[in-house]
Amino acid sequence: MPYPTDRERDRPWVIRTYAGHSSAKKSNALYRRNLAKGQTGLSVAFDLPTQTGYDPDDELAKGEVGKVGVPVSHIGDMRTLFDGIPMAEANTSMTINAPAMWLLALYVAVADEHGAPRDELAGTTQNDIVKEYLSRGTYVFPPAPSMRLISDTIAWSVQNIPKWNPINICSYHLQEAGATPPQELAYALSTAIAVLDAVRDSGQVPQERFGDVVGRMSFFVNAGLRFVEEMCKMRALARLWDEITRERYGVADPKQRRLRYGVQVNSLGLTEAQPENNVQRIVLEMLAVTLSRDARARAIQLPAWNEALGLPRPWDQQWALRMQQVLAYETDLLEYEDLFDGSRVVEAKVAELVEGARAEIDRVQEMGGAVAAVESGYIKGRLVSALAERRRRIEAGEDVVIGVNRFQATEPSPLQAEGAAAIETVDPATEAAAIEALRAWRAGRDAAAVDSALDALRDAAKTDTNLMGASISCAKVGVTTGEWARVLREVFGEFRAPTGVSAAVVGGSAAGEIVEVRERVRAAGETIGSRLRMLVGKPGLDGHSNGAEQVAVRARDVGFEVVYQGIRLTPAQIVAAAVQEGVHVVGLSVLSGSHLEVVPAVVDGLRAAGADDVPVVVGGIIPAEDAAELRERGVAAVFTPKDYQLTAMMDEIVSLVLAAHDAG
């Protein structure tokens, strides 16, 4: 989007909603409706199997198909997703990382079928794998080959689809994982440095064109409720980005050095309790990234008020869309130059953030850069510690959350009067339909052409050849997402990122409540005859591990011996670990909506293994109706975001363990 001159009324940012669920056909209908309502860009949410490189019929995909986004298994799905949408005119953001190259290949292949010139394609692939190791968990390959895929995608895009943003460096998910503003700035910019170094060192882009690479780099940021600080953070990011690209990479053109960023405002702060308060939270957070013209977002997508309850309905997304439109078209915000130029208060805060971020960037660079700091567990440990400290402040009432730890008294909400209908639900038949359609797709394609394309991809992966060409060829002959990823898994291997739990250090851990529960855990262990052991598990493909990590840290702090193996485990693997480790309780964390499928599988597996005396507790975004069903199916307790007092949760778990051993 072009930038206006200083005295020209600023153009509205690209207005998006993050959307997609169930199937390509249903998501296409949703996109068309949103565009008809005045949305000016698309933001595609992919389901977890697609994000992690699995087909719907894979064992790990069970319960996850179509839940948090749209399943895209092959070019046929991409055709359906963009049916009737002019791709040469669309501005499409795709939240995809480990298989970003693959989804971009599918997009380009369909655009070719539409007759859309490649040099007119506009949009963004997220493609930031570093933050996946730290927060969202949808990584697939080890860091080195992952950086190779990123570099190949960027180099190919700059030369073939010059209007496309081939990467979105995501500080958004760092904040969701607990990052303070200086940490968020530092780790995002450290990732950007690692990416730019990788592209430069690959030799695929001539030095004289490196400014084009920098000019297509974009960021995807988070804006929290401390909106003055958040606005200053964006000004600090713009200043640091200009400095790094000028001094480290020698980019002379100020237009190429300009910070280009999109936003989804904070979802971490949305509450299940009194969720109507989320509306004003979202509006205030939007101001953080729009008030300052010199650091204004060029694309914004807002969450819906009820995302802490489940999947938003189209009406909820429309409400979020209208929030943007009222600000952009009804107010006078876009008529003025920057409102904060010359402010001593703002300048002082920006300088403070810049100084803190620079110091942390230097620490990361001394370790060998962002990838090395991820592999060592340093950054993850810092994030887990920061989030644990934030939770401690909320539990202690030092940080106020309206409706949660202050002003809890409330009237019944008419917005939730419909019960389960207050959120969108995905038809359970969606997964079976996707599997059936996938099998029909495989049966109807040219198997020899598929095998040949996959062989070419495998051979290219063993060299330093850019893999975009081979991926587009795979897309055009009907290769599936799981097949593309499987071939690269064979060549590159897989990876399990550090959890950060063992490195987490939390202040205030000697608080009275923790001491009391710690004594109760000790006494319970003496009663049972061994120290209490808890397994914390993440079944399925849900990689949002922040909650599980915080539970593991608190369980450790109150005296449990904690077994936490990280993300992406099958129910059978969790059962095997629970039996092998002889745990006294299993705690499962599920935020993707797959709880009714994966949790009972763990309960049934424990019973089959003779460990039916091990209580299973579950935490996550779980509607009340589903919580009741889980309890009927053998789950001992269900915790949701409103249960923010982790120490009280630990106390309840001790009671469940004692009851299971008839020692209560």
Dig out the tokens for 407 from the structure.
């002003």
Per DSSP, the three-state class of 191 is: helix
Active-site entry in 21, 62, 74, 173: 173
Return d(Cα 553, Cα 107) in angstroms, integer.
Answer: 42
User: 193 burial class (0-12, 13-18, 19+ CB within 10 angstroms)?
Assistant: buried
Strands of 122-125's sheet in order across: 18-19, 42-45, 91-95, 122-125, 164-165
Return d(Cα 478, Cα 440) in angstroms, integer.
Answer: 12
Return d(Cα 485, Cα 351) in angstroms, integer.
Answer: 44
Active-site entry in 54, 107, 133, 172: 172
Partners of 93 in beta bridges: 43, 124
Per DSSP, the three-state class of 216 is: coil
Which residues, in sequence order, are CB contacts of 344 under 8 Å at separation 6+? Answer: none
Q: Is 595 a catalytic residue?
A: no
Phi and psi at residue 536, to the nearest 5°: -105, 120
Active-site entry in 542, 557, 584, 595: 542
Partners of 263 in beta bridges: 221, 300
Q: Is 661 a catalytic residue?
A: no
Active-site entry in 67, 74, 233, 544: 544
Return d(Cα 245, Cα 259) in angstroms, integer.
Answer: 10
Residues in the chain: 664
Dig out the tokens for 484 from the structure.
């593309």
Q: Is 584 a catalytic residue?
A: no
Dig out the tokens for 285 from the structure.
């957070």
Q: Is 26 a catalytic residue?
A: no
**Where do we find the tokens 């073939």?**
160
Dig out the tokens for 167 from the structure.
């990467």
CB-based contact 133:378 (threshold 8 Å): no
* Segment (H or E) for 123: strand 122-125
Q: Is 74 a catalytic residue?
A: no
Per DSSP, the three-state class of 536 is: strand
Return d(Cα 490, Cα 481) in angstroms, integer.
Answer: 14
For residue 524, which of 661, 338, 357, 339 has the smallest C-alpha distance?
661
**Where do we find the tokens 């055009």?**
476
**Where do we find the tokens 């190259």?**
101
Q: Supply the DSSP symbol for 330.
A: I
Which residues, in sequence order, are CB contacts of 201 under 8 Å at separation 6+? Answer: none
Return d(Cα 452, Cα 516) in angstroms, integer.
Answer: 64
- How far is residue 316 CA from its own chain's centroid? 20
Cα angle 77, 80, 82 (rounded to 5 degrees) comes to: 110
CB-based contact 532:525 (threshold 8 Å): yes
The residue type found at 169 is: I
Active-site entry in 349, 538, 584, 595: 538
For residue 296, which of 326, 324, 317 has the smallest C-alpha distance?
324
Phi-psi region of 344 (alpha: psi -120 to 50; beta: other; left: phi over 0): alpha
Q: Is 54 a catalytic residue?
A: no
Active-site entry in 18, 31, 261, 564: 18
Dig out the tokens for 427 from the structure.
């038809």
Partners of 586 in beta bridges: 535, 616
Task: Tell me the HSE value of 184 on the side-chain side, using a 13 A CA sphere.
Answer: 27
Task: Tell me the HSE value of 391 on the side-chain side, using a 13 A CA sphere.
Answer: 27
Active site residues: 18, 172-173, 538, 542, 544
